[in-house]
């Protein structure tokens, strides 16, 4: 696959403050990338630079190998969808979606057939004659996406496109968007703070923090093999326990001692005996057994497809685990013994500034 | 709340809304934008007066009781902190205008600030705080009053997704610790499932179902609820025969699926809803020379896998079939390596996991609208 977009050492400075700093990234043609991160991490700045709304203070943006750093957005072939739906209120849906072909002076019948095609794609053709004010938020955002695509652009920039919508609509629309752009073979950059949304739509997630790329990978890689505590914590849910490495087997399997002395076997790691560490284990990889880490059940919450059990362990760690909805749930206050699927644990070096700082969101 | 009606022109924000909330209960009113959630809260605290119907607290009608004496407090989705006041001054607002004894007020305010983990930030101003910190300050201010009823109007909406998850737990445990009766309005079904003692589903100014999170999820009262709380695969067909294991439903293409028992009669048009998390798939084996006639898995219809999305703890598999254009199933992530795009699978579910409904009067498309 050819590289569609390349960022070469992009920085964006406001006064003395770097909103993004020295970012390099290659996006393949047809790839769906989400730029994920907490508020203030620089993700919105980055997409505005890529789209050409802002000129970076340093670095270059290349599209199809051409340097477009100085090309303003109106002269680029890019579709852009904002968080706040921005349809023309005085135009019906047909006219809204036909906006780009019309300003390019396409003949009327071409404009109409393009509008029809894209309204059909987002399943809104039966309402072509309606005005934006007559639609719900989710429907308006579908039309906004159709309008962005009707420009014929092979690149789509989605700047928190679902944030303003109801949770249930967001879920439905994220699957719709993924199906649509894959069908059309469009290259997508999608900014979001919602890790569930990122997991559902992406080929690759670029996790940002404090103006830089913190880590990137496919949803599977980011969830199964996170390389940092922050990624393990931010993407999906996980239990983090402070510990010290007490033993390494010849094959690299790590044994750690939790606070209070309890020993737990964990996966392979690069750490050495005596290193301060943190282990991460996902709630679906924690089980109960007749012996193990002793814990007291704090709450049992119905989560739809499973029960979430929250416990506090003898090591004063909070550990959550899941049980299937057809199983009997433990009583609140009762004792359980927890074991971890050791292969599914991740062992990280304990950060010098502490665990709380390593996962700080704001 | 009994038979509340409130109209704005032609729009009925409350249309016969009735709801009983128990002392100390944490209730979530869950519904799409425009369902009448905020109007409901405003009527409870007295900011909006209903056209008809009655609101009582502890059995006493609130009709003639002014806002200031209802002992309710509202936390809205926009954190309306006073910008020129520090965290401390914001939280002190209610005690000071009510002229409470100074020492007691100070103690109360300090303990509230501590409870929301803002004790390191007491002298800071709202603009110096993050969204989450502003939200917690607003909560402390709402709590530092003599209110018995806490009204929460989408309190987490403006926050980042990850922070929302953290604050769900905190918010509920704080309300419970203070013994408040809480009514929390939200459009987020995951939030409601995780936080509520009971969920009231609201739509078009009416409560369509009330129950524990599990009741609402597993025994939805309408097709809308079935699809709104957790996603469902929805099928429209005709009721067939019933036996001890359930009822058969015949889809337009002749496919037969099964659901739990129903009081609908044979031949009636009906809607079947089955949660994507209860939908099961099994590979259809390809005949080989050694096994020319492999054992076929049991199920209702065949489908071809179009997409597999790895979403963390679960995977979502989207399939096409002749019975239904798009059928989705959600599986634990350990199943990820078992399936590939293009695989032919048999789709099934346990009949008691599928609910059967009469076709709604408004039509199924209108019924399932999410917003």
Taking the mean position of all CA atoms in its chain, how far away is CA B150? 18
The pLDDT confidence band at residue A362, using thresholds 50, 70 and 90, is: low
Cα separations in angstroms, A3 against A23, A62, A79, A201: 16, 9, 18, 20
Q: How far is CA A276 from each of CA A240, A243, B15, rounded to the nearest angstrom?
A: 13, 6, 61
pLDDT tens digits, A14-41:
999 999 999 999 999 999 999 999 988 9
Phi, psi of B135 (to 5 degrees): -65, -40
Distance CA A20, CA A44 (A): 10
* Beta carbons of A311 and A297 less than 8 angstroms apart: yes
pLDDT at B156: 87
Check if A169 contacts B (Cβ < 8 Å).
yes
CA B37 vs. chain centroid, Å, equals 12
Cβ distance of B316 and A235 shorter than 8 Å: no
What are the backbone angles phi and psi of residue B167, rounded to the nearest 5°? Answer: -75, -20
pLDDT in tens, B163-217: 888 888 888 988 898 899 999 999 999 999 999 999 999 999 999 999 999 999 9
Q: Is B24 on the interface with A (CB under 8 A)?
A: no
A172/B311 Cβ within 8 A: no
Q: Which long-range contacts (CB under 8 A, 24 or more apart) does B90-94 make?
A: B90/B126, B90/B137, B90/B138, B90/B141, B91/B137, B91/B140, B91/B141, B91/B144, B92/B144, B93/B141, B94/B141, B94/B144, B94/B145
pLDDT digits (tens, 9 = 90+) for B47-88: 999 999 999 999 999 989 998 889 999 888 777 899 999 999
Q: How far is B141 from chain A (nearest CA, A)?
A: 22
CB–CB of A195 and B314 under 8 A? no
How many Å apart are CA B99 and CA B139, to the nearest integer? 21
In the DSSP assignment, the letter for residue B239 is E
Task: Compute the nearest-CA separation of A196 from chain B (Å).
Answer: 7
Contact across the interface for A236 and B313, Cβ inside 8 Å: yes
Question: Would you call B313 an interface residue with chain A, using a CB distance cutoff of 8 Å?
Answer: yes
Residues of B in contact with A220 (CB under 8 A): 310, 336
8 Å CB contact of A305 and B330: yes
ipTM, two decimals, is 0.90
Residues constituting chain B: 371
Cβ proximity of B293 and B262 under 8 Å: no
pLDDT of residue B163: 83
CA dist., res. A317 & res. A145, Å (int): 45
Distance from CA of A223 to the nearest CA of B (A): 6
Measured between CB atoms, does B170 come within 8 Å of chain A? no
Mean pLDDT to the nearest integer, B125-135: 86
Q: Quick check: A10 and A58 in contact, CB under 8 A?
A: yes
Mean predicted confidence (pLDDT) in B218-247: 94
| B156 to chain A, closest Cα gap in Å | 12
Which long-range contacts link B326-330 to residues 24+ away (Cβ below 8 Å)? Answer: B327/B233, B327/B279, B327/B303, B328/A175, B328/B231, B328/B233, B328/B276, B328/B279, B329/B233, B329/B276, B329/B277, B329/B279, B329/B280, B329/B281, B330/A305, B330/B231, B330/B276, B330/B277, B330/B279
Name which of B162, B194, B371 is nearest A38 (Cβ-Cβ): B162
How many CB pairs lie under 8 A apart between chains A and B? 130
Chain B contact for A219 (CB, 8 A cutoff): yes
Q: Which domains does chain B have, with CATH numbers?
A: 2-218 (3.40.50.300), 231-368 (2.40.50.100)
User: Chain B partners of A302 at a C-beta cutoff of 8 Å?
Assistant: 193, 212-214, 217
Q: What are the structural domains, with CATH classification, of chain A?
A: 3-230 (3.40.50.300), 237-358 (2.40.50.140)
């Amino acid at each position: 696959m050819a590289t569609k977009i390349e960022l070469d050492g992009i920085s964006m400075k406001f006064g003395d403050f770097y909103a993004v700093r020295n970012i390099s990234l290659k996006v393949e043609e047809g790839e769906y990338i989400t730029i994920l991160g907490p508020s203030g991490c620089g993700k919105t700045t980055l997409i505005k630079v890529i789209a050409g709304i802002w000129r970076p203070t340093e670095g270059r943006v290349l599209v199809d190998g051409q340097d477009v750093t100085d090309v303003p957005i109106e002269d680029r072939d890019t579709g852009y969808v904002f968080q706040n739906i921005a349809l023309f209120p005085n135009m019906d849906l047909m006219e809204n979606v036909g906006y780009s072909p019309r300003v390019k002076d396409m003949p009327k019948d071409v404009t109409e057939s393009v509008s029809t095609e894209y309204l059909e794609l987002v399943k809104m053709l039966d309402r072509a004659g309606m005005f934006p004010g007559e639609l719900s938020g989710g429907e308006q955002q579908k039309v906004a996406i159709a309008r962005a695509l009707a420009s014929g652009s092979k690149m789509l920039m989605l700047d928190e496109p679902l944030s303003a919508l109801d949770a249930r609509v967001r879920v439905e629309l994220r699957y719709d968007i993924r199906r649509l752009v894959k069908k059309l073979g469009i290259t997508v950059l999608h900014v979001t703070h919602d890790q569930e949304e990122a997991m559902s739509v992406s080929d690759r997630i670029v996790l940002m923090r404090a103006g830089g790329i913190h880590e990137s990978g496919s949803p599977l890689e980011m969830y199964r093999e996170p390389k940092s505590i922050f990624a393990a914590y931010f993407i999906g849910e996980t239990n983090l326990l402070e510990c010290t490495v007490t033993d390494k087997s010849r094959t690299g399997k790590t044994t750690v001692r939790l606070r209070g002395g309890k020993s737990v076997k964990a996966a392979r790691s690069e750490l050495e005996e005596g290193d301060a560490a943190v282990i991460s284990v996902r709630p679906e990889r924690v089980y109960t057994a007749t012996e193990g880490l002793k814990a007291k059940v704090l709450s049992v919450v119905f989560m739809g497809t499973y029960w979430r059990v929250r416990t506090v362990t003898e090591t004063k760690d909070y550990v959550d685990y899941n049980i299937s909805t057809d199983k009997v749930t433990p009583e609140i206050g009762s004792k359980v013994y927890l074991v971890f699927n050791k292969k599914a644990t991740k062992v990280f070096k304990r950060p010098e500034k502490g665990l709380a700082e390593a996962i700080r969101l704001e | 709340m009994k038979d509340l009606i409130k109209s704005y022109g032609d729009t009925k924000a409350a249309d016969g809304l009735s709801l009983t909330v128990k002392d100390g209960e944490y209730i979530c009113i869950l519904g799409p934008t425009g369902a009448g959630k905020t109007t409901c809260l405003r009527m409870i605290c007295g900011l909006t007066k209903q056209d008809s119907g009655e609101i009582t607290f502890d059995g006493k009608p609130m009709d003639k009781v002014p806002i200031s004496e209802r002992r309710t407090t509202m936390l809205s989705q926009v954190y309306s902190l006073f910008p020129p006041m520090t965290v401390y001054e914001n939280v002190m607002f209610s005690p000071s205008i009510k002229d409470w004894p100074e020492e007691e007020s100070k103690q109360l305010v300090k303990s509230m600030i501590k409870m929301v983990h803002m004790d390191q930030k007491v002298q800071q101003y709202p603009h110096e705080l993050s969204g989450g910190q502003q939200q917690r300050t607003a909560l402390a201010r709402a709590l530092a009053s003599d209110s018995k009823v806490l009204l929460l109007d989408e309190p987490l909406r403006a926050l980042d997704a990850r922070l929302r998850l953290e604050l769900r737990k905190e918010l509920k445990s704080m309300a419970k610790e203070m013994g408040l009766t809480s009514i929390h309005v939200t459009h987020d079904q995951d939030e409601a499932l995780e936080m509520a003692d009971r969920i009231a589903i609201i739509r078009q100014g009416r409560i369509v179902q009330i129950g524990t999170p599990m009741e609402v999820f597993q025994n939805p009262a309408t097709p809308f609820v079935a699809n709104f709380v957790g996603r469902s695969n929805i099928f429209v067909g005709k009721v067939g025969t019933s036996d001890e294991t359930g009822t058969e439903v015949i889809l337009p293409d002749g496919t037969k699926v099964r659901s739990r028992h129903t009081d609908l009669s044979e031949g009636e048009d009906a809607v079947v809803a089955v949660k994507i998390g209860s939908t099961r798939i099994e590979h259809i084996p390809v005949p080989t020379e050694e096994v020319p006639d492999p054992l076929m898995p049991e199920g209702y219809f065949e489908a071809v896998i179009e997409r597999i999305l790895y979403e963390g703890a679960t995977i979502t598999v989207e399939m096409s079939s002749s019975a239904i254009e798009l059928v989705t199933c959600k599986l634990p992530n350990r199943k990820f390596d078992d399936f590939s795009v293009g695989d032919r699978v048999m789709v099934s579910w346990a009949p008691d996991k599928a609910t059967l409904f009469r076709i709604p009067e408004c039509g199924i498309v209108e019924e399932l609208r999410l917003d």
